[in-house]
Amino acid sequence: MSTRVNRIFSSRNCINFSPSFTNKARNFKTTSLHSLSPPDHLFCRTFSASATFSRAQVPVRTKIKGTAPTMASEYKTLKGQDFDRAAFESLLRRKVFLWQSFEPYGAVKGLFDYGPPLENLEAGVIDLWRDHFIRTEKMLALKCTMLTPYDVLKASGHVDKFADYMCKDPKTGEILRSDHLIKDVIETRLKGDKEARGEKVEETEEDPKKKKKQAKAAKTAVKLDDSVKQEYEHLLATLDDCTGDDMGALIKKHDIRNPTSGNEVEPPVSVNLMFQTQIGATGKEPAFLRPETAQGQFLSFQKLLEYCDSQLPMASASIGCSFRNELSPRSGLLRVREFLMAEVEHFVDPESGKKHSKFASVRDVKLPLLGRQTQNAGGSTPTTMTIGEAVDTKLVDNETLGYFLVRIMLFMQKIGIDMNKLRFRQHMANEMAHYAADCWDCELLNSYGWIECVGCADRSAYDLSVHEKATGTFLKVREPLKEPKKVEEWQANLDKKKSGPKLKKDGAKVEAALKNLSQEMKEKCSISMEKDGKVEIPVPDMEAGKVELDKDIVSFAKETRMETMREYTPNVIEPSFGIGRILYSLMEHVYWTREGDAARSVMSFKPTIAPIKVLVVPLQKDARFGPLLQELEQRLDDDAITFKVDQSGVSIGKRYARNDELGIPFGITIDYESLEGKGFTLRDRDTTKQVRSSVDDILEAVVKMCKGKESWDDVSKRLPAFESQESKEE
């Protein structure tokens, strides 16, 4: 087959860093994945904290949430057929959408290379995202470095909390992610119970290695007591909310063992999931590949504020790769070690009520909302309501959060997501960080279940506050008050001349600690000083963690001053998009097969984002078509329409069919009537209908449809229909 594509598809960049253990890196409170080999060096200590940290806690900790359809036949294609994942994945491989990286060397789990179709699809989705959010919402686009110093991620909480729980088989050294281990074993037992009861067990396409493990674990079908079966089903439904201790108790209670070896496993421990590296050759500057793009945006806040003339609300946006040293990569693009994110940080005055100036324009838009109360009652069916009603009833905390939920849904609609396979799920109380006001996930249903693809969180003032505290950098907004106001507040006054000889190098630390004391604490210190003549102050940065000061060194007094400026830390509303998960779900949503021929697959990408917009098909190999082909190629290039030419010798119907698998929405055919000046035919991928007209009419229609300004229905009404060669062959 001879084909041409009129653009060069960029390759995905790979970055390779050699990890280095420095003093700071050695002092992690969680295990690093770089210590997983040999197995004896794996575990540092167990954790009692939650096994999973939501997007509101440590932003990029997304998880696969919800349950898959109970049977493979319950998940349908775009046209309502049973979804065949094996056939779908075969198409992705055959048409070079993606493959595992470094295949000649045995491939690497959790790393994927995108071929021309998927790379170009991603570019189309990102272009639309830029237009939908950055251009339309007047956001400030940023590009921040992927290398992040240790201190930044220590302050943000990632060093301590960006972790998963895992178990070790002490006899084989095999490492197993705790929640996956429990889920796989319990699902295998439930499957065995079905077989023992004589019920039909739907086979789903699985990782061959996982299938092999399950086969070893369940050599015979065992019928479970009804109460045990019910307990197992409840366990699977609530597994995402389990802490490390909870999972350890479940493993012990249900005698969950390594499916491969049958050995008992050690209790779950927390493992840090960031990729370590170093900046410079000395190894004195430990760093990580960023686990999210957000921290660069937060630390650029003051520069962005200056750029906006200190006016809020203000939003920044960043698109780029993030990294996660996944313990157990699985489910294709849904759980990987390198992934593209698109994140927005919308900064707003907390005293504004977090209202949004454009909320009225979306107030009547309806969304499928699965609230916390419904989930607590055991429900999983979302309630469809207007965002206005959701905000008025406080189901959604504020207008700005609600506005972005609508914008997220409209973006999904634009790229072609099936709206019947989309819902917004509110985070449960135990998923929320203490500082988060509210958090919703946009979940998309695919053959793996309901998958979190976008997190939208009200993060309050947490991020700016922790970075200001860690660095001493001013990360607030100053604005003049309309009228000066009298303020009474407690002040701590340190006598630097007298304190210097006693505090020495710790003087600055003590001064900062005094400044950071709350008004309540300063008042208590004043009472203690008056009573005892001394006071003990917490100083976290000192080795002792505290210092005792007497009344000769420090005094506390209530002072009155006139305030003309207001200082405040903005709150942040943060929509965060996992592009890889969205792309995979989109590909499943647009996949279907022709009626009566399951071998003829179609990817119904919208023309606005399709990897290639037009297939150019000369009817036969004939030199006389050459000049017309060259003219058509030039015109398509001039209109910036991506196209592919297929001049192979197979029938035109087969050429259409194999390019339908690439999702090319339109086909232009050059035939013998074209040589007589009768124009070209234009074919629609989904209906296979064709129209015939002049090159100007055809190209005008293509350009309008690719820009979303016309549909095929519009075009077919104004251009003459044509009985296609394809239909004659059929």
Average pLDDT over residues 682-692: 97
Average pLDDT over residues 133-139: 98
| Same domain (yes/no): 387, 463 | yes
- Average the pLDDT over each of 109-113, 328-332, 421-425 and give the range with the smallest value: 328-332
Looking up residue 246, the CATH number of its domain turns out to be 3.30.40.230
Looking up residue 616, the CATH number of its domain turns out to be 3.40.50.800
pLDDT in the model for residue 238: 84
- Decide if 16 is inside a domain: no
- More confident site: 314 or 242: 314
Average pLDDT over residues 663-690: 95
pLDDT in the model for residue 219: 55
Average pLDDT over residues 688-698: 96
**Model confidence band, residue 24 (pLDDT cutoffs 50, 70, 90):** very low
Name the residue among 552, 452, 456, 441 with its Cα closest to residue 495: 552
The string of pLDDT tens digits covering residues 173-184 is 888 999 989 999
Supply the mean pLDDT for the chain: 86
| Same domain (yes/no): 690, 716 | yes
- More confident site: 401 or 511: 401
The string of pLDDT tens digits covering residues 204-225 is 544 545 555 555 544 568 889 9
pLDDT higher than threshold 90 for residue 572: yes
| Helix ranges (DSSP H) in 359-443 | 372-376, 387-392, 399-415
SS3 462: helix
Average pLDDT over residues 565-584: 96
- Average the pLDDT over each of 77-81, 121-125, 205-209, 504-508 and give the range with the smallest value: 205-209
What is the distance between the alpha carbons of residues 251 and 267, in angstroms, rounded to a whole number? 8
Name the residue among 169, 185, 178 with its Cα closest to residue 256: 185
| Same domain (yes/no): 272, 308 | no
SS3 646: strand
| Same domain (yes/no): 508, 551 | yes
| Same domain (yes/no): 453, 574 | yes
Range of the domain at 699: 612-729
- Decide if 603 is inside a domain: no
Name the residue among 49, 581, 134, 108 with its Cα closest to residue 322: 581
- Adjacency order of strands within the sheet including 614-618: 3-5, 643-646, 614-618, 666-670, 680-684, 690-693, 721-722
What is the distance between the alpha carbons of residues 519 and 525, in angstroms, rounded to a whole number? 10
**Model confidence band, residue 715 (pLDDT cutoffs 50, 70, 90):** very high
| Same domain (yes/no): 578, 441 | yes
Name the residue among 697, 655, 657, 664 with its Cα closest to residue 680: 697
The interaxial angle of helices 244-253 and 178-196, nearest 10 deg, is 40
Place of tokens 């004043």: 526
**Model confidence band, residue 97 (pLDDT cutoffs 50, 70, 90):** very high
- Decide if 63 is inside a domain: no
Average pLDDT over residues 326-343: 89
- More confident site: 70 or 611: 611
CA geometry: angle at 664 spanning 595 and 588, to 5°? 60
What is the distance between the alpha carbons of residues 291 and 322, in angstroms, rounded to a whole number? 5
> Between β-strands 666-670 and 680-684, what pairing exists: parallel, antiparallel or unpaired?
antiparallel
**Model confidence band, residue 649 (pLDDT cutoffs 50, 70, 90):** confident
Q: Which of 6-15, 29-38, 460-469 has the highest mean pLDDT?
A: 460-469
| Same domain (yes/no): 191, 237 | yes
pLDDT in the model for residue 211: 53
The string of pLDDT tens digits covering residues 433-465 is 778 899 999 999 999 999 999 999 999 999 999
- Decide if 6 is inside a domain: no
pLDDT in the model for residue 54: 36
pLDDT higher than threshold 90 for residue 332: no
| Same domain (yes/no): 168, 265 | yes
DSSP 50: B
Give me the number of domains the chain comprises.
4
Looking up residue 363, the CATH number of its domain turns out to be 3.30.930.10
- Decide if 388 is inside a domain: yes
The string of pLDDT tens digits covering residues 268-277 is 998 888 999 9
| Same domain (yes/no): 656, 682 | yes
pLDDT in the model for residue 55: 36
- Decide if 314 is inside a domain: yes
pLDDT in the model for residue 14: 35
| Same domain (yes/no): 406, 421 | yes
The string of pLDDT tens digits covering residues 633-647 is 999 999 999 999 999
pLDDT higher than threshold 50 for residue 485: yes
**Model confidence band, residue 47 (pLDDT cutoffs 50, 70, 90):** very low
- Average the pLDDT over each of 183-197, 393-407, 700-714 and give the range with the smallest value: 183-197
pLDDT higher than threshold 90 for residue 553: no
- Decide if 683 is inside a domain: yes
Determine the residue type at 514. L
CB 51 within 8 A of CB 57: no
Average pLDDT over residues 230-240: 87
pLDDT in the model for residue 107: 87
pLDDT higher than threshold 70 for residue 543: yes
- Tell me what percent of the residues of the chain surpass a pLDDT of 90: 62
DSSP 313: S
DSSP 342-381: EEEEEEE-GGGTT--TTGGGTTT-EEEEE-HHHHHTT--P
User: What are the structure tokens assigned to 261, written together?
Assistant: 């070896």
- Average the pLDDT over each of 203-207, 435-439, 473-477, 655-659 and give the range with the smallest value: 203-207
Looking up residue 539, the CATH number of its domain turns out to be 3.30.720
pLDDT in the model for residue 327: 80
Average pLDDT over residues 88-113: 94
CB 704 within 8 A of CB 685: no
The interaxial angle of helices 579-589 and 399-415, nearest 10 deg, is 50
| Same domain (yes/no): 462, 390 | yes
pLDDT in the model for residue 202: 62
Domain boundary residue, one of 258, 285, 312? 285
- Decide if 471 is inside a domain: yes
| Same domain (yes/no): 158, 296 | no
